[in-house]
Amino acid sequence: MNLEFENELAEIEERIAELSKLDSKEHPQLNKDIGALRRKMKSLTRRIYENLTPWDTVRIARHHDRPLFKDFIAGMCSDFIELHGDRRCGDDKALIGGFATIDKHRVMLIGMVKGRTVDEKVHHNFGMPNPEGYRKALRLMKLAEKYGLPIVCMVDTPAAYPGREAEERGQAEAIARNLTEMAGLEVPIVVVITGEGGSGGALGIAVGDAILMLRYAVYSVIPPEGCAAILWRDAERAPEAADALKITAESLLDLGIIDQIIDEPPGGAHRDPETTIERTREAVVETLQRLKRQSTARLRDNRYDKFARMGRVKKRRSKSSK
């Protein structure tokens, strides 16, 4: 499964694979050739990934082989106990959580599950939570607060589910409640945007003390396709919208929305999930160590200031008052 800007890479990969099948005794040049191809591939990868457009990044963030929340759980945690249910109505399959141990840190780990096979995708509603997902997340966060456990939220969702029953059960209220309650939680909250940060659906678990983001994840107020459909009346112009919306980690760091970029290996997380997950683990652990040193009151005040600063408007004299 290749993205079109990776076609050249795919070709080289294929040639390497072909050559590797040959007998090196019959082809004395073989190892040298393969080595050259690998070097070429490496530099090409670097070149491609240094020149990605925002829209390329969107494609990578949605890549089939990109590590998903369950991969992160398996790779980052020495223990995970899933805790189900919102105690009101259901157990959301798109947004899950539970006790987890990362290094020596016991935390409450929460995140969106997308699924990889068709069955999994359907089961997990393509990672689009319903209100009971946000309410389960809040229940678990409150439990973490009671037990003094830091919270780690891993964000990867196209959007909160725009369904009829989601509306009837208060999708808007569920997200709003989380934003309000998370502002006041008395434990550290680490957020990692790992794939798609889809608008309010992402933000619903993304009010944190530290917002980390994988290099090729995206985080946006609206999907580029939707934005293009509205502003250019043409969903095909999504690449332009992706550009205009400033949704890449680099842009978001500049805008002061995120605190840290977690570098992905050359060629993206989908080429090397293991390294990606390991780097994520390291970044989360470092952040936890830092945040755990802060007092509860300090944490909460800093969190307030952090979000209060976002989009802070310098007061300007209005024309009328000269």
Partner 1 sequence: MGWFKRSARKTPQNEIPEGLFAVCPRCKAHIYKDEYESAFKVCPKCNHHERLTAAERIELIVDKGTFREFNSEIKPNDPLDFKDAKGSYRQKAEDAIAKTGLNEAVVTGSGDINGTRAVIAVMDFRFLGGSLASATGEKILLASEHALRMKRALLIFSASGGARMHEGIVSLMQMAKTCAGIARLDRAGLPYISIMTDPTYGGVSASFATVGDLNIAEPGALIGFAGRRVIEQTIKEKLPDDFQTAEYLLEHGFLDSIVNRGEMKDYLHRVLQYSLGKKV
Q: Which of residues 186-215 bind partner 1 (CB under 8 A)?
A: 199-200, 203-204, 206-207
CB contact at 8 A, 109 and 150: no
Contact flag: residue 170 with its own copies (CB under 8 A): yes
Q: Which is nearer to its own copies, 45 or 130 (CB)?
A: 130
Binder of partner 1 out of 15, 40, 106, 281 (CB under 8 A): 106
Position 142 contacts its own copies (CB under 8 A): no
Binding flag, residue 99, partner 1 (CB under 8 A): yes
Beta bridge partners of 154: 111, 192
Extract the runs of DSSP E, i.e. beta strands, from 77-132. 79-82, 95-102, 105-112
Q: Which of 108, 166, 27, 163 lies closest to 288 in space, CA to CA?
A: 108
Please give the torsion angle defined by the CA atoms of residues 117, 123, 125 and 128, in that order, rounded to the nearest 10 degrees.
Answer: -100
What are the distances in angstroms from CA 83 to CA 8, 41, 107, 178? 45, 44, 13, 18
Q: Which residues between 171 and 190 bind its own copies (CB under 8 A)?
A: 173
Q: Does 231 bind partner 1 (CB under 8 A)?
A: yes
Site string for its own copies, 67-106 (x = CB under 8 A): --------------------xxx-----------------
Residue choice 83, 235, 253, 285 for contact with partner 1 (CB under 8 A): 83
Residue 139 contacts residue 178 (beta carbons within 8 Å): no
Residue 163 within binding range of its own copies, rule CB under 8 A: no
Choices 3-11, 35-43, 162-170, 281-289 (CB under 8 A): range interacting with partner 1 = 162-170
DSSP helix/strand/coil, 132: helix
| Interface with its own copies (CB under 8 A) | 87-89, 135, 169-170, 173
